[in-house]
Structure 1
Amino acid sequence: MKVSAWRRYAVKPLMLRLTPTTIATFVGSVSLLAVAGGAIGYAVGAKTTVQKNTAAPIVVNSNIDTAEAQQLRAMQARVAEMQAQLLRLDALSQHVAESAHISVQEFSSAPAKDSKGGPLTQDLSVLGEHNIDLRLQELSQRLAQKETQLQALDSVLFNKRLQNNQSYLANLPVRNAAITSTFGYRTDPFTGRAAFHGGIDFSGAQGADIYSVASGVVSFAGVKAGYGNVVEVNHGNGYTTRYAHAQSIVAKAGDLVAKDQLIAYMGSTGRSTGTHLHYEVLLNGKQIDPASYVAVALKK
């Protein structure tokens, strides 16, 4: 009887039947709880981080500055430098073209704003650092194009100058002076024999002003055998003028000189018999007769 009673009131084991639906529901609930817990934890952590950041700024790890990043910055700096150089060349070529009365558009390296086309082979916006390399190639090509354009411009100006070269160098290096010796063969004042004279001699007072006949760059200023104190001015396109036997020199090598700018004072240094200026015109290093230039200057 006791045993039967015990069996009657004894708790039977609980049997759970876990169907697939039940398992899925359970797993989903656990996942939702995990996500919710994570979100709450993130929010608490973010709030704590904000509070900490308010007190002290975040320190960036200096190790992130890799060699690759340095190379990328160097390429970016090179692009900026080439762009600035191209802008300067554009400004220079446009100024010279306008001075030569040539269409400015012919010497502009800036691409046209309209009339663009062609198939899309690569979108540069997604290339990252490779975009910089392509930009460098593009700028190099444009700089090469600019060099070709400037060479063409120089050729145009050279032809214009040749057409009117007498007026370009047609000026007197001294004022109120007389011509005492011309270009060509003459009797040498020291030997008494026939010798070639490569310029024109102008007589004048000791210390008289000597001027550059045209604008240019002083390529030499100093002493040369036979010439004494001498100044040479490079006028471009192969033309150089030489001023010899000066008492003293004013200009220095590398100076930019303008037409009629004082460069020296007349004297009798070097192989000279008295105070005078020995004046030469050279084309590609060869002495040519300055008489045509002087004749035009005297007619003015």
Structure 2
Amino acid sequence: MNIKHKLTSFWNLLKRAYFNWNRNDPWARSATIAYYALFSLPSLMIIVVTVAGYFFGRKAVQGRITTEIGDFIGTESAAAIENMIANAALNESSTLAVIFGLAFLIFGATGVFFQLKAAMNNIWNVTAKKNTVKRIIINRIISLGMVFVLGLLLLISLLINTVIKALSDYLASIAPIITTFMINVLNFLISFLIITSLFAAIFKWLPDVKLRWKTTYLGAMLTTVLFLIAEYVIGFYFGQSNPGSVYGGASSVVLILLWVYYTCMIVFFGAEFTVQYALHRRDRVEPNEYAEPAIYQELERLEQKRGQLIDEKRILDTLQSHTEEDSAPSEEKKKKK
């Protein structure tokens, strides 16, 4: 009975999450973030590759990223991303060039997380109290922190894979069939854990709300499951129908946009589920010191709109009264005739 009750509660959470996800228009927001991601991708990849490449070498990390992305959206799109990384290297001809290059690099890499943060705030129905220069800088630092989290997770993934490869080579001579099965299961569990940690960090740090890790992890696990399912389904779709072939030379760009677009929709659904789960558990969730419930600013905007409509009505009444006064003498002249 307890299991049935939990399944019913989980299904109700999914339904409420879907209705709220659909109401918040995830298609438009996903398209916006996909657009920003296209321009942020070179800078983002440079920082991630630099962080992980410091330990494993730049070429090894680039090859790993190309392989992972190639399995999802095809080798051509993965090669295009690899070319982005290679062509976007900093010019070290002068100190000033390096400084400006780093500034634009950080600004570009954090753009996609900056937009993702705004989307997360919308899902949690909070908004910034005031966009001061200090707060904008803090938001950029948080976004840059998410970039370094990506690099750290990639580093951990490479480190674990290196250990697993050494272990599998040793065990292959003893029990090759069992070793292959165990390694596949272990790789899946590690990938699941790393992706879940990334989504949990996004749900925890990006929105301007105070959340516990325990609240974010269930939503992050659901998002990971949906992400892995979508990875197989979309990868199969891309492989069979080849939607980018219609666009010719721009097919790689289109596939990257589609990849980010569908990923964002999944992330938004996971965030909506996290909201519903927090409400279901009656967790205390409140805006941080830099934000407030969005309803306050909505009411303020409605009050401003009300004042504007009153002014417009006053102007229309004045114009109408002048029109009636001007038409009155004409009517009197007609009566005299």
Q: Higher helix fraction: Structure 1 or Structure 2?
A: 2
**Bigger Rg over Cα:** 1
TM-score range, shorter chain: under 0.3
Normalization by structure 2: what TM-score?
0.22
Does 1 or 2 have the higher relative contact order (CA < 8 Å, sep 6+)?
2
Q: Higher strand fraction: Structure 1 or Structure 2?
A: 1
